[in-house]
Structures are given as structure tokens and as C-alpha cells.
Amino acid sequence: MPAIVHSLEELQGIRETWRSAGESVALVPTMGSLHEGHKALVVEATSQADRCVVSIFVNPLQFGAGEDFDAYPRSLHADEAFLADTLVDVIFAPNVEVMYPEGLDAAPSLSAGRVGDTYEGTSRPGHFDGVLTVVKRLFDYVNPDVAVFGAKDAQQLFLVQQMVQDQNFPLRIVEVDTVRDSSGLALSSRNAQLSETSLAQALEIPRALEEASHQPSAKDARNRAREILESAPGVGVDYVEVVDPDTFQPGGDTGVGEPARLIVAVTIGGVRLIDNKLLHFGQ
Ligand code: PAF
């Protein structure tokens, strides 16, 4: 049964005990409302290090005005129960004052740079600055040897990897494949906000990704996915693009067998959903 820790002092005390014993630590940063996708992150994390911390914090800095910060599901007790049969050692669940003792307005913000202003960042200005700010802070607080992130948030993962590389953080980032339900829908805490009708409409997302993966080129893949999503009832398309996974720049018509990532964002019943798929052309 993981220990629930709310304060920085307690977290750092535990961290110090582990360090003295020469134990390695993995961190799984989350915003809670845990589901099987998070479980996959936890399973990977606990296999990568001696100790595992799951952080649960709905980070106000990554939500813009009018976004779903207030509506974002919060369920600490259910999350504790969900992790009860895992090898997680600590659930770190700070409040805003613990996370940002200087106050939200005074917290120095990291910049996610140019890639941070594209795709998710175009529709959610400042979102990735907020993500990197909290992730860096969690790295400082937990001091992990490994941090585990899901591939579903591909742009987030790219930017975190870039930050770790640029700033020479002494830790490894591990990526875990997206977990899908039996109909192919990527698991997301936001799925809980979908009505039955919206859930059915959301199945067009995995269908678009799958159909795109059978196309001969990045351009065809993008067009096919766009066609499916734009004609799907109830689905509002934000973006459908193919990017180079190494740069997150549009393109993907690279050499034969080189991977390209199809990324999509849509709104269904007022809920924003993102997904992506790694594609290989010309094989
Ligand atoms: O992916 C998420 O749940 C969040 O963006 C993260 C990484 C926990 C930062 O708040």
C-alpha cells in the first residue's frame, strides 16, 4: 500500500532514506483520475527502479482561461485504491501552496520554446510552459533517476525529453505506449467526461489513425485521417498533422521505413481529445 505524502518535507525525508540505502527512484507524474493507461506507466516505472513515486497534482499553470481546470476530475481516494495493489511506494499529492510556495503568479515559468507554441500549444497558449514548469519542479522535489511518460501525449513527451537534454538533467525519460480500450479509444482521464453519444463518436479517432496507417505517404495519411474526422458527426477537428518524431516539425515524408507521427486533436461534446500513431511509409 503506497504512503500518501502531502508535504515536501516528508517527501524529501523519504527520498533521503532511499538515497542513503543506495536505492534508485522512478517518478510517474500524473494529474490523478488514474486509469489503466497510468497503470501501464506504473508497471514500467516499478520495473525500472527500486522505488516508485506517483505524483498527483492538477497543475493550474497548464490550464488556460476558460479551460477545464475546475471540471478536471479529481479523485484522490479512488486513486489511492487504484494503486493499492501496485509496487508504488509513495503517492505525492501536494496542494498548490506546496507545489508553488511563492504563489502561482510569482512562480518562474519555463518556456517550451517554438515547438511549445504549435499544435496543442496553438490551441492552448502557455500550456506547455505550465507543463514544463511543473515537471521540472517535480524533478527537483523527487529527484528521480527515471521518469515515465505516456506516448499519448506525444508533444508533451517530446518537450520534456528536449528539456531534459537541453538542461542536462541527470535522469532518464522512459516512454510507454498508449493503452487503448477494446474499441481502440486511447484511455484518457477526460474520457470520463464523455456522454455515451460522444464516446461512440470518439471511435472515429482510432479509425482515422488506423486508416491513415495504410496510406502510402505522409500526405495521404494526413488527408485520409482529416477526411474521416472532418466528416464524422459531432467531431470538431482542431488539427490533423504528420510530424517528424525527432523534431516535431510538419513533414514525415522522410526516407523509406523512417517513422512519422500522425497527431490529431478534436473536440467532442465539449471535451478535447488527442491521439497519435507512429507510421512507417514505403515498406
Ligand atoms: O500528462 C499529464 O498528466 C500532465 O501534463 C503532467 C505531466 C502530470 C504535468 O502536470
Domain map (residue ranges) of the chain? 3-176, 189-278
134 Cβ inside 6 Å of ligand 1: yes
C-alpha cell belonging to residue 127: 500550456
Looking only at Cα atoms, what is the longest distance across the chain? Answer: 59
SS3 of residue 21 by DSSP: coil
Pocket test of ligand 1: the residue of 72, 140, 156, 188 to mutate, having most ligand atoms within 8 Å of its CB, is 156
Q: Which contiguous run of DSSP H or E holds residue 264?
A: strand 259-268
For residue 173, the model assigns a pLDDT of: 98
Active site positions, annotated: 38
Superfamily of domain 189-278, CATH level 4: Pantoate-beta-alanine ligase, C-terminal domain (3.30.1300.10)
* Cα 94 to middle of ligand 1, angstroms: 14
Judge whether 202 and 194 are in contact, CB under 8 Å: yes
d(CA 251, CA 222): 10
- Name the helix (H) or strand (E) containing 225: helix 218-230
C-alpha cell of residue 166: 537541453
Spatial separation of the C-alpha atoms in residues 238 and 230, rounded to whole Å: 10
Q: Which residue shows C-alpha cell 455515451?
A: 196
Q: Quick one: pLDDT at residue 255?
A: 58
Instruction: Report the pLDDT value the prediction gives residue 258, as an integer from 0 to 100.
Output: 79
- Angle at which helix 154-166 crosses helix 127-142, to 10 degrees, equals 60
pTM exceeds cut of 0.85? yes
Q: Say how many Å lie between the CA of residue 281 and the centre of ligand 1.
A: 31
Q: Reduce the DSSP state of residue 239 to 3 states and report it.
A: strand
Report the separation in Å between the CA atom of 144 and the middle of ligand 1, taken as the mean of its atom positions: 16
Secondary structure letter of residue 111 according to DSSP: -
Q: In the prediction, which pLDDT does 253 show?
A: 67
Per-residue pLDDT for the chain (283 aa), expressed as one digit of tens each?
Answer: 999 999 999 999 999 999 999 999 999 999 999 999 999 999 999 999 999 999 999 999 999 998 889 988 899 999 999 999 999 999 999 999 999 999 999 999 999 999 999 999 999 999 999 999 999 999 999 999 999 999 999 999 999 999 999 999 999 999 999 999 999 999 999 999 999 999 999 999 999 999 999 999 999 999 999 999 999 999 999 999 999 999 999 986 655 667 999 999 999 999 999 999 999 987 6
CB neighbour burial string for 3-25, b if at least 16 within 10 angstroms, e if fewer: ebbeeeeebeebbeebeeeeeeb
Amino acid type, 272: R
Sign of CA dihedral 11, 17, 20, 21: negative
**Which numbered atom of ligand 1 lies nearest the CA of 150?**
1
Nearest CA residue ID for atom 5, ligand 1: 131
Is the CB of residue 215 below 6 angstroms from any atom belonging to ligand 1? no
Q: Whose CA is nearest to atom 9 of ligand 1?
A: 131
Ligand 1 centroid to residue 55 C-alpha, Å: 9
Helix runs in 21-153, H state only: 36-48, 76-83, 96-99, 120-123, 127-142
For residue 145, give the DSSP letter.
S
Q: Identify the residue whose C-alpha is closest to ligand 1 atom 2.
A: 30
The pLDDT of residue 81: 98
Distance CA(267)–CA(212), nearest Å, equals: 20
Residue 116: CB within 6 Å of ligand 1?
A: no
Domain 3-176: homologous superfamily in CATH: HUPs (3.40.50.620)
Cell of 34: 488514474
Indicate which atom in ligand 1 lies nearest the CA of residue 58.
10
Whole-angstrom distance, CA of residue 272 vs CA of residue 264: 11
Q: How does 75-89 read in b/e, with b if 16+ C-beta sit within 10 Å?
A: eeeebbebbeebebb
